[in-house]
Structure 1
Amino acid sequence: MAGYVGILSVELHFPENESLKGKRKYLKSAKAQLHQRFGASVAEVDHHELWQRAGLTVACVARGYSELNELLAAAERYLGAQEYELIRSERRIMSVEELPGDPYVAGLALEGAGWEGDLDEMRDSD
């Protein structure tokens, strides 16, 4: 199976922002644009309680390494061109084969949650 998964970790600074409500407005727009323009999944992962900072993780997938690298670079450029500041950015790209864990649970620990039978059935159906 071919394909690549890319993760872009960024830290944003909102120097003019004065409230968590204002920060949510910026983040809602950024998340929507990243999804719309780049097909990205985005989560706020750090600095939840701070109203002038945010840590985001942006995830994208693509068939080829170069295609994915350019996609993440474009997302990074987009974030850097906004009215807030992009103060840190880190990219990581892995092939699907490099991903750890069971492909059915993608690293999620579901043991003890009553899902074991369902997972066994999924594995057996392949």
Structure 2
Amino acid sequence: MWVGFVEFDLLLGDVHSLKGKRSLVRPLVAEVRRRFDVSVAEVDSQELHRRATVGVGLVAGDRRHVVEVLDAVERLVAGRPELELLSARRRIVTSED
């Protein structure tokens, strides 16, 4: 069993309130969940209106699948014009670790 996760540090565009932040983060979380069937949530920076930390995780039978899915999620997030991807921290482990 392989477990992979990635944590995205995001700078949001022209956002001036937490309500504006939600209008960008919620659709992103919903799209990632729908397209890739992974666990995804805003995991940090909830009190900041121009920053968001979004975590994505999945479990699979082989490492290659985990890498492919996390790569695709990262491309999707990086391609969103309304936000800037500041960093992506990734970890992949096996149940034998």
**How far off its partner does 1:43 sit?**
2.0
TM-score normalised over the length of structure 1: 0.72
Shift of residue 44, structure 1, vs aligned partner? 1.5
Bigger Rg over Cα: 1
Aligned residue for 2:96, secondary structure, equals helix
> CA RMSD of the aligned region, Å?
1.1
Larger fraction in strand: 2
Uncovered stretches (5+) of structure 2, i.e. residues with no partner: none
Partner of 2:48: 50
1:13 lines up with 2:15 in the alignment: no
Deviation at 1:65, TM superposition (A): 0.3
Alignment of 1:1-126 (within 5 A): 3-83=1-81, 84-98=83-97
List alignment gaps of at least 5 residues for structure 1.
99-126
Distance 2:77 2:29 in 1: 10
Deviation at 1:97, TM superposition (A): 3.0
Runs of 4+ in 1 over 2 A off after TM superposition: none
Q: Secondary structure at the match of 2:22?
A: helix
**Number of residue pairs the alignment of both structures matches:** 96
Higher RCO structure (Cα 8 Å, ≥6 apart): 2
- Give TM-score, length-normalised by structure 2: 0.92
- The amino acid of 1:90's aligned partner reads R
